[in-house]
A and B are shown apart, each in its own frame.
Chain A
Amino acid sequence: MDMKKHLLGMCVLPSVLFVAGCSCCDDAVAPQAAPAPAPAPVVEAPVAAAQIADVFYAFDSSALDPMSEAQLKENARWMLENPDATIVIEGHCDERGTNEYNIALGERRADSASNYLVNLGVDPSRIQTVSYGEERPFDPGQDEEAWAKNRRAHFVLQ
């Protein structure tokens, strides 16, 4: 599992670098800005940087809000651009509620994300889903900030 998370990290990393690079260009000082060819990659980069990221849910809900749908469109685009990639979508819950019910809820979250990708043309054989309920929280905190992070469909590259 750790290795999978690393793979995801490698996937996200380029876009983080891109964002960082972009803010650097905005900086008025920009002392060591590259010469002439610099603008070209800036234009192309957003297209190449389609990336997979997690989506989040309200309490006791597996419904997708507009922000989650926007992220899933991005995820679908990445899947279509990387046809050899397969993913596992993990459904997770916050620690409130009870463990058994949360296993069921987590599966509904993973399924809602998976169905959205499939509707956008992603081959369902490239997606596996699994629910961990509240058993694998990302943030062990016991406040809404932590809970909000834990109510997610987590995308793991195989």
Chain B
Amino acid sequence: MSQNSDPMHALMTYTSSRAFLVWSLLIVFLFATSPSLHAVESGEYIRIAKAGERRIPLVLRGLDHKRSKDARYADGTDAIIRNGLEYTGMFAILGSPMNLFTGGTMFDPERRRVNMASLGSVGAELYAGGVLERDGGDVVLHMEVYDVLSGRRLLGKSYRGDRKKLREPAHEFCADLVELLTGKPSVFRSRIAYVGLNGGQKEIYMAAFDGFGAEQVTRTGGLAMTPSLSGDSSRLAYLAYIEGFPELHIMDMKQGDIVPVRKKGVKIDPAWRNGSSECATTFSFDGDQEIYLVRSDGSISRRLTRARGIDVSPSFSPDGRLMAFVSSRHGVPQVFIKDLLTGKERRLTFNGRYNTQPSWSPAGDKIAYTSMQKNGEINIFTINADGTGLRQLTYRARHNEAPSWSPDGSMIMFSSSREGQKKLYVMNADGRNQRSLNLPGQQMQPSWSLYK
């Protein structure tokens, strides 16, 4: 790690006065979040990400740090950033070449000069690195991102966080980097709800997008299932068996209050309607199983289906106008789409005899669903909302169920029994890069949502 200038100067730059630090952070922040910069810089990269049948080759340099006793914070942060960026499936992370810096101030990302020729020689298109320093109980990450071909700096920003919560500043950086490239909210600002099976009991848990920090949120003492987070994660709707009978619960995630809906008969698989504070779910109090819209106070807003047979598992288009759902009106379960404005319904799936669990993509163009096949496997497919473009995403891997899109539409989370027990998995939206979250125990029925 060679350096060509006075390290004291670098130290002075960051620590001489608190006021100066605040001002410099503010300036860097304004620079990094300037809309015009985003518009110009991200435009170029959105093309790359979309063309992205391939991963973006990224040199991710471990965080430089001046004091050796900060090594553990730097190493910890490095691992979080690396795992986080790998989780997105967007990057091919390359090793850092020698001679990365050609001069400037080593511990000052504002002033050190990055060697684009060296980066280009290992095939990198992006470079990300930075300097970690400790400030009392906090760590500050001074991060830099360069476009190797043009040599332009795409991002220069500092992130401060509690040294015991390194995930927060590290993921703030990851979020900024990915959002710069895609122009969409990244997974790093999202959470998941899912069903955990422990000791024969199913309860609902919530965790960060990668399963970290899981917390049990229901305590029914037996059976809770089909969680659905509202678009802003303010409410959680789910099915709970209380004293042997099913109830629809709508939980306020801030207050923890629960509104129970105890109508006669089933309550199945609620889903929030985008752009409203209502969720749709199946009730059977009127004799047949039909889908209804329910307000967050538990009252019924209106009935949406009127066909004899099973109608379940609603999922809405991003504008909330169209609803995909499962119906057995023709004998076997198939996915249908209803236009809530005109009332018109049409059948979406024609391949296979058991198609369930539709999940509408955040971009609105695709619907993921599962199909049980003749060999007994359940596999995940995507299909365009107009019925074209059928694509199978999982193969020869037992039961793959309950697809749920990431808020930016780049990934799909699902449960799979491919290794025996049911576990949560993620894959890119095109089916590549399938891997387990490796959570302990068994999990199923993920629901992925933004939380900010």
- On whether the two chains bind one another, the answer is yes
A135 to chain B, nearest CB (A): 6
Q: Is B376 in the interface zone, CB < 8 Å from A?
A: yes
At the interface, is chain A mostly helix, strand, loop or mixed?
mixed
Contact (Cβ within 8 A) B445 A101? no
Contact (Cβ within 8 A) A130 B401? no
Name the segment of B93-101, B133-141, B265-273, B431-439 touching the other chain: B265-273
**Interface size, chain A (Cβ < 8 Å):** 19
Q: What B residues does A97 contact at CB under 8 A?
A: 354, 356, 372
Q: Is A60 in the interface zone, CB < 8 Å from B?
A: yes
Contact (Cβ within 8 A) A60 B266? no
Bound-state CA distance A107–B267 (Å) is 10
Contact (Cβ within 8 A) A107 B225? no
Bound-state CA distance A60–B309 (Å) is 12
Bound-state CA distance A152–B444 (Å) is 24
Bound-state CA distance A134–B444 (Å) is 14
Q: What A residues does B312 contact at CB under 8 A?
A: 100-101, 103-104
Known A-B contacts A1-B244, A98-B401; A103 and B266 likewise in contact (beta carbons under 8 Å): yes
Q: Is B310 in the interface zone, CB < 8 Å from A?
A: yes
Contact (Cβ within 8 A) B356 A101? yes
Q: Is B24 in the interface zone, CB < 8 Å from A?
A: no
Contact (Cβ within 8 A) A107 B326? no
Q: What A residues does B88 contact at CB under 8 A?
A: none
- Of A96, A99, A104, A130, the residue contacting B244 (CB under 8 A) is A130
Contact (Cβ within 8 A) B225 A135? yes
Contact (Cβ within 8 A) A108 B445? no
Contact string against A for B residues 66-78, beta-carbon threshold 8 Å, 1 for contact and 0 otherwise: 0000000000000
Contact (Cβ within 8 A) B268 A130? no
Contact (Cβ within 8 A) A98 B370? yes
Q: Is B333 in the interface zone, CB < 8 Å from A?
A: yes
Contact (Cβ within 8 A) A108 B310? yes
Contact (Cβ within 8 A) A104 B332? no
Contact string against A for B residues 370-405, beta-carbon threshold 8 Å, 1 for contact and 0 otherwise: 101000101000000000000000000000011000
Q: Is B406 in the interface zone, CB < 8 Å from A?
A: no
Known A-B contacts A1-B244, A100-B313, A101-B326; A131 and B357 likewise in contact (beta carbons under 8 Å): no
Chain B interface (Cβ within 8 Å of chain A)?
202, 223, 225-226, 239, 241, 244-246, 265-266, 268-269, 282, 284, 289, 310, 312-313, 326, 332-333, 354, 356-357, 370, 372, 376, 378, 401-402, 444-445
Chain A interface (Cβ within 8 Å of chain B)?
1, 60, 88, 96-101, 103-105, 107-108, 129-132, 135
18 interchain pairs, CB-CB under 8 A: A60-B332, A60-B333, A60-B354, A97-B356, A98-B356, A98-B357, A99-B445, A100-B226, A101-B310, A101-B356, A103-B312, A104-B266, A104-B282, A105-B310, A131-B266, A132-B223, A135-B223, A135-B225
Given contacts A107-B266, A108-B289, A131-B266, 18 further A-B contacts (CB under 8 A): A60-B332, A60-B333, A96-B372, A98-B372, A98-B378, A100-B226, A100-B268, A101-B312, A101-B326, A103-B266, A103-B269, A104-B266, A104-B282, A104-B312, A105-B310, A107-B265, A107-B284, A130-B244
